[in-house]
Structure 1
Amino acid sequence: MDAYFWQLPLLFVVGVVAGILNTIAGGGSLLTLPLLIFMGLSGAVANGTNRIAIFCQNIFAIRGYSKRGMLPLQLALLCTPPALLGSWVGANLAINLDDQVFKRLLALIMVGVLIFTAVDPMKRIRQQEVNFGWWRKILIVLSFFGVGIYGGFVQAGVGFIVITALLIHGLDLVRINAIKVFVIFAYTFIALGVFIYHGQIDYYLGFALAAGNSIGGMIGPRLAVAKGHDWIKKVVSVTVLVFALKLLLFP
């Protein structure tokens, strides 16, 4: 219990920062996962413990976006079922996770997100009402099955993948973040169950982190709605760049 004396407050503070990042951009788990491992958890247990915080954080984030009228519920519900199925697959794969392969892959994905966000090729159609025909719906289902696999597998950086998956359809980043927290909340329920079943959770550390993430989950939607798409775009770009460089140069 002595170690918890300093671990729990530190996790709470870092959790607040991670919760804000997760709800307006992504990458919060790139702060919390290394910290949990530093505290002595194995990669698998840190991965599972982090899911408690993600689950709690997104309860508050969903409420925040919904209360402000920024959650496109119909589209969120379309994205969720394939992500649920993918998360079960990914979480089972995560029990034997190769850290170095993950870090390199994530860094490359983040560089791609940075380029896409900077170029913003969908800026023109974002001013229009997006028509979700059958081909768009099929593409969304397939892409969110992949999102679910990745999110169930490791979680860290999944927000950047969701942002990219929805930016190509011309949505603004405020609504994208609302959909993101809804989908991640739903599939985290499945992934968390897998980690609990395999005993890969430290509940003391998990709930301390969850308390901080939940506070961040309340603050994030307020910032996102108040500041708008262009401000979030800058936050996403800076966050992606910092974490990508960290993963590439200091894996």
Structure 2
Amino acid sequence: MQLWQIPLLFVVGIVAGILNVLAGGGSLLTLPLLIFMGLPSAMANGTNRIAIFCQNLFAIRGFKKRGYFPVDLVLLCTPPALIGSWFGASLAISMDDALFNRVLAGIMLCVLIFTVVDPMKRLRRQDIQFSTLRKIVLAFSFFFVGVYGGFVQAGVGFIIIAVLLAHGMDLVRINAVKVFVIFVYTAVALGVFIYHGEVNYFIGLSLAAGNSIGGALGPKLAITKGHDWIKKVVNLTVLVFALKLLFFT
């Protein structure tokens, strides 16, 4: 690692941290950067988890400080995601990058269509009541969120947004749930990568410094700007990254 790479990691980390809290896709900036710096794909994947872990720690604090933290929903979504992340991270040690890019691009375009059409808009409310069946569906959904997030992380925020939008939640509270779930399952996934020796700590901590600042700024922007503004950020981010994955990789 060269000295000039540290400020580059820091700046990209700030941008990625804000994107990850508001929408997702920050890892689509940081993963290619880590690979460009010479890390193998698996090690870049593992090293990136340090930044994600630190970023969401600060983001959780920001949402809780401002009173936007739906505890019941967090406790429902986190355990299945935690289990899924172990399976996903175990698969991530070897993966086909080209196939991943195409699948991720397809998922992101589906999320874009879903957020634009917003079929649950009329049902959106603050005091959502979850029946037993909806809780079961949500738990299964977050198990697969955990598998995907443990596997590669990049773009998992878009999937969580789509899952919770389908239940009528607003994007401010969705992001509060999202950062906590990702924080917890990232700890498990990071442990798997550390066990296999696929983490560069110095580069990871350099990137984490920037991601943490972005994670601290994200909740303030989310709460002050509100659902409609976040929706625009999500849509633009999804479109840009999906086009990049489809045509420029």
- TM-score (structure 1 length as normaliser): 0.98
Deviations 1:41-90 (Å, cap 9, x if unpaired)? 01100000000000000000000011111110110111000000000000
List gaps (5 residues or longer) in structure 1: none
Could you tell me which residue of structure 2 aligns to residue 145 of structure 1?
143
2:77 alignment partner AA: C
Could you tell me which residue of structure 1 aligns to residue 9 of structure 2?
11
Deviation of 1:128 after TM superposition, in Å, equals 6.0
Could you tell me which residue of structure 1 aligns to residue 180 of structure 2?
182
Deviations 1:205-227 (Å, cap 9, x if unpaired)? 10000000000000000000000
Could you tell me which residue of structure 1 aligns to residue 161 of structure 2?
163
Structure 1 segments of 4+ aligned residues over 3 angstroms from their partners? none
RMSD: 0.7
Of 232, 239, 242, the match for 1:241: 239
1:112 alignment partner AA: C
- Report which stretch shifted further, 120-129 or 96-105: 120-129
Write the mapping of 1:1-251 to structure 2, written as runs, cut at 5 A.
Answer: 3-127=1-125, 129-251=127-249
8 Å contact from structure 1 (residues 113, 161) kept in 2: yes
Partner Cα separation in structure 2 for residue 65 and residue 105 of structure 1: 31
1:119 alignment partner AA: V
SS, match of residue 5 in structure 1: coil
8 Å contact from structure 1 (residues 18, 27) kept in 2: yes
Identify if the C-alpha distance between structure 1 residues 73 and 238 changes in structure 2 by more than 3 Å, giving closer, same or farther: same
- TM-score (structure 2 length as normaliser): 0.99
Deviation of 1:6 after TM superposition, in Å, equals 1.2
Partner Cα separation in structure 2 for residue 157 and residue 4 of structure 1: 29
Partner Cα separation in structure 1 for residue 181 and residue 124 of structure 2: 21
8 Å contact from structure 1 (residues 7, 205) kept in 2: no
1:141 alignment partner AA: A
Partner Cα separation in structure 2 for residue 138 and residue 203 of structure 1: 38
Partner Cα separation in structure 1 for residue 107 and residue 170 of structure 2: 20
Identify if the C-alpha distance between structure 1 residues 224 and 156 changes in structure 2 by more than 3 Å, giving closer, same or farther: same
Deviations 1:165-223 (Å, cap 9, x if unpaired)? 10000000000000000000000000000000000011111000000000000000000
SS, match of residue 95 in structure 1: coil
